Chain A
Amino acid sequence: SAVISQKPSRDICQRGTSLTIQCQVDSQVTMMFWYRQQPGQSLTLIATANQGSEATYESGFVIDKFPISRPNLTFSTLTVSNMSPEDSSIYLCSVRTPGGLDTQYFGPGTRLTVL
């Protein structure tokens, strides 16, 4: 498995501002993902963070709104840009580990409230 930490754990932000969420893993991983979980809902994949290249975004999510970086095999950031109250959600980092095939682990999440 992998130990995943996220910063911040929660934040309250004003509309129109941006927030960058950090994801740190205790070991090198093959794949990193960012998910959004709206209140009382399931998990929706935002994008796959690719090391050294642009992230791969799912339908309905765009780079201008959710820029992602992955500078190495253990770290990634997700920025939520120009926030509105509709962006209030839990944002989750998720990883797959070498040798773990398709097994996927999740971080503790970042709880974002936009006023």
Chain B
Amino acid sequence: GENVEQHPSTLSVQEGDSAVIKCTYSDSASNYFPWYKQELGKGPQLIIDIRSNVGEKKDQRIAVTLNKTAKHFSLHITETQPEDSAVYFCAASQGYSTLTFGKGTMLLVSP
């Protein structure tokens, strides 16, 4: 089955800096890669996703890149703000199969 590795487990940045979280996956058939943000006491919120027919997708300060050859994808957050502090999860799936999640990255943005 699919295996998703996520790094780093924690990431501390200063407000205004950029943050990058990386994930690798094992199943070359996977074609859908979402990212979720989970704030304390809340459920995971889908913030961006990418499918294997594109290499990059942007939404304001958030971008995701995908390298199918190397089987890795990354979340990029620019101009970080304290409200970006949360746990971020990457995931992968193929078609309508169930999502396989990474172990999560705790992002701390200091004012």
Residues on A facing B (Cβ under 8 Å): 1, 4, 31, 33, 41-43, 45, 48, 58, 92, 101-109, 111
Contact A42 B46 (CB under 8 A): no
- The answer to whether B43 touches A102 (Cβ under 8 A) is no
Q: Report whether over half of chain B's contact residues are helix, strand or loop; otherwise say mixed.
A: loop
A109 x B103 contact (CB < 8 A) = no
Report the separation of the CA atoms of residues A104 and B56 in the bound assembly, to the nearest whole angstrom: 20
Binding site for A on B (CB under 8 A): 32, 34, 36, 41-46, 49, 89, 93, 95-96, 98-99, 101-104
Closest Cβ of chain A to B101, distance in Å, is 5
**Across-interface contacts of A92 in B (CB, < 8 A):** 43-44
A106 x B44 contact (CB < 8 A): yes
List the A side residues contacting B89 at CB < 8 Å: 42-43
